[in-house]
Amino acid sequence: MATVYIAVDLETTGLDPVRDAIIEVAAITFRDGGILDEWSTLVNPYKTIPSFITKLTGIDQSMVDDAPDLFTLRPILAEKLAGGIIVGHNVGFDLGFLNAENFALGSHRVDTSVLASILYPTRGRYGLSSLSRYLNLREDGDEQDHRALGDARRTYRLFTALQSKAKELDYDILEEIVRAGQQLRWPETKFFEDVWRQVGKDAFGKRGRSGRGQPALKKLYQPARLSGSPLIPREQVSQLDTGRISQLLEPGGQFEKHFPGYEHRPQQVKMIEAVADAFNRGQHLMIEAGTGTGKSIGYLLPAAFWSNLNQRRVVVSTNTINLQDQLINKDIPELDQLLPFELKAAVLKGRRNYLCTRLFQQLRHRGPGSADEMALFGRILVWLPDSESGDLVEISLRSQGERLAWDRLNSENEACTAEKCASEGCPLHQARRRAELAHILVVNHALLLADIALENRILPEYSDLIMDEAHHLESAITRGLSFRSDRRYIEGLLDEVTRNRTGILAGIRRLVSESIPGELRSILESRMVEIQDGARKTGIRLEEFFTTLEFFLGQFISKSSQYSQPIRITPAVRSQPDYDQVLISWDNLDQRLKMISDGLSKLAGHIADISDSFDIGDGENIRLALISLARNLFDTQLNINAIIADPSESVIYWAEIFKGRLSLHAAPLHIGALVEEHIFNVKETVILTSATLRTATPGYQQGSNFDYLRSRLHAQHANELAVGSPFDYKNSTLLLLPTDMPEPNQPGYQRCVEQAIVEVALGIGGRTLVLFTSYNQLNRTAKAIEPGLQLKGVSVLSQSEGASRQRLLEQLKAQDSPSILLGTRSFWEGVDVPGEALQAVVIVKLPFDVPTDPIVAARSETFENPFYEYTIPETVLRFRQGFGRLIRRQDDEGLIVVLDKRVLTKRYGQAFLDALPECTVLRQRLDRIGEISQRWLNRDK
């Protein structure tokens, strides 16, 4: 008989099953795709419904005050939930509330978000609304999102759509998911069992195969064969014909013929000529290219000609994945259409981004050990046959458990080697092969740094480097050289040793159980038991150390704070009386970690010796896995020892406490010398480019220049060029500076911020991006302005609501109704909303760094006048990025409103105004902002 399923959805007063309550419940019973019963009701929670829940669901207090309570509904609800498997989207949330109310539902449940992540592995976004739109599951008459019945109906339809999708899977893949799920007792197994049996019945005229014996595992990853030879640089360098390259962009040239609407931009030509000249002369160049210049083509075009002419690979490094994807998927393919030669390009990422197919094959044989690993396992089984890259970017990791599982499968693992994996076409080695064949190789700053750290063993040889988004280079290198660890991470390393069934030592036991003589096996077993016992005891020392450290750091933090609290670990902190207890506790843990690390390394040596004498098929992989785990433990022990007991003057150390979790951190104090030694001194041509490279320096009254970044990156010998934007800011952009605003630390400032935002939003009908520097102020502002704006028909989109950045931007662009978007740091860069959807940017405060940030504080101490020499230049760079969110296309127009009066009242304020393009500037009273905004956009042009 077919399985009965029950799609369930709840609406609640919040997220905590203990403190919050159910306000609506719906249940839809179905079998074989047909609905048997549908039921929903409001529930009286006997507590106030928060306003944000009313906004989200449409359920207000008056709707539930007369509704039945859960006690009254219990018999009905219990009956509705009986006799079937519970289905929900993120069903753990619903079950949490039902279990808190003592509904005994056991483990019979299926989560459609997990199923969707497996069956649509490259989708990336698995919210119920998003999937419903993607799969066209909405129907006329559907209730709104976040109402129980509407969401239960969508869950039911999603479930049936996923069943249909699962039936399209290869039968062997279905069988493999079922076998692994049954072994683990994974809840979602039931879904795949039903589909597997149905597919088997249809295909073979019976209920599937017998299920006896382990089926052969077919090879999943079969990328296209790569042809060609690696680039071999010509001995004699030929010079670029700059005039020939520039002609492509002239009116009537190839660009105009290939790209309708192309506009000739003298600034872009000037950039191309400067980059080509740098290649010809083998020089270093810092070039700032304003918004709209066409910066990517400005360096890609001469780089393409240079690489083709001299068979020299050019590496292009970016800070963000978005730009990396734009270059490899859009700009370079478009460029290739008009070049008189074939341009080969490739992208290469860090080893962690690529699946090691050999490690995954091992997982297929032994089976997943947890629900998170099982979900990722199923996703990879479905994704890998259609993937050309094996790159993590194509799928998503949805939880910390999945991230830990990926750590055991990616190519960063020591077991992924060229000797073992290249012959099998492992994704990493395929990517490296493509890189060797490429004229243009696109990487990110982090990988560029890793290649330097590993003495150029990651990237193929190159002499010419272009670094885009170069204003982020210092922070990218700082991140790349930083260390972070916490109790949970170390527990994960120890767990790999102590796990009895799926841990690394369990793997060794299976490997040698029948391959080596009993006496040798007994010796090996005693060593493994010693390591395993040591790891278990180390867990106790680990807890003691973090407890002692947390107690010591308690004197430096606020117990009631909801925000992250960093504490620099300086000589002054180490001199505190109680710090001796931290040192003693660390010494106990330190010795244990060393013992386990050494034990694993020695065990790896024993495995190597045994493999030489006996036929152990997977011995080399086990040996490499042991080395990798030992190295991770050793690196963790070494870094924490530096933080706690043996600090270096060239490194910044701190602890951070957030929501009760303590983590330890270290970062380099300076990176300029590294850039000079490993980039400028060894690469022939280096181009640093960005829309924002110039900033204020101690002589800020003279305007912005390259001096600050030149100093930070040790780029003293680089030439410089600034090409302005082709946009007419004078006629397109109004810079509005309210004159009667209080300064941020003065009374009334927050009220005036709220008034200004409302004035602008109502004046131009939404279409506004508001940039904050703190979540706290953003949340207070959103709460204050939302009711009044909603009454006037303007929606407030807020980063505080938990929606993804991309989703918020999509809503702003859609212009379904007048709306404004409130965002913090991540919205100051990379936001591209052209046209009428965005016509005002409000900058609430100058984006100063938090002075207590450990890296900021430590680096500030290295300047004589840190505020003017370090803080102001950094802040001007970010301010310019925020300004750049407004005008994205030639015909864009709008206004920038700066609500930080310090640009008018402080001596340094002029540095910020001087850094901007020449706009129309107006100083005016706060109460006229709305009127002026409206008049500016409705003016005669």
Q: Tell me if residue 284 is catalytic.
A: no
Nearest to 624 by CA among 422, 421, 415, 426: 415
- 610's enclosing H/E stretch is helix 579-613
CB contact at 8 A, 811 and 797: yes
Residue 423 token pair: 């012959």
Report the interhelical angle of 473-480 vs 445-453 (nearest 10°): 50
User: Does residue 244 sit in helix, strand or coil?
Assistant: helix
User: Residue-wise over 252-261: b if at least 16 C-beta within 10 A, else e?
Assistant: eebbbeeeee
Nearest to 165 by CA among 211, 129, 121: 121
Q: What is the DSSP letter of 868?
A: I
Provide the residue type at 913 as one letter. L
**Backbone angle region of 664, left / alpha / beta, with phi > 0 → left and psi within -120 to 50 → alpha:** beta
Residue 920 token pair: 């129309």
CB contact at 8 A, 109 and 85: yes
C-alpha radius of gyration, the chain, whole number? 31
Residue 50 token pair: 């928060």
CA distance 51 to 783: 10
Nearest to 536 by CA among 583, 582, 595: 595
CA distances to 436, 489, 498, 537 from 495, rounded to whole Å, are 39, 10, 5, 12
**DSSP characters over 39-88:** EEEE-B-SSPPPHHHHHHH---HHHHTTS-BHHHHHHHHHHHTSSSEEEE
Residue 697 token pair: 């320096």
Please provide the size of the chain in residues: 941
Q: Per the residue annotation, which of 146, 429, 471, 665 is the catalytic one?
A: 146
User: Residue 667's beta-bridge partner residues?
Assistant: 652
Q: What angle do CA 900, 475, 707 make, to 5 degrees?
A: 70
CB contact at 8 A, 380 and 363: no
162-167's contacts with Cβ under 8 Å and 24+ in sequence apart are 162/112, 162/115, 162/116, 162/119, 162/191, 163/33, 163/191, 163/194, 163/195, 165/119, 165/120, 166/115, 166/119, 166/191, 166/192, 166/195, 167/195, 167/198, 167/199
CA distance 517 to 281: 67
CA distance 793 to 788: 9
Provide the residue type at 228 as one letter. G
Beta strands (DSSP E) in 772-818 are 795-798
Catalytically active residues are 146
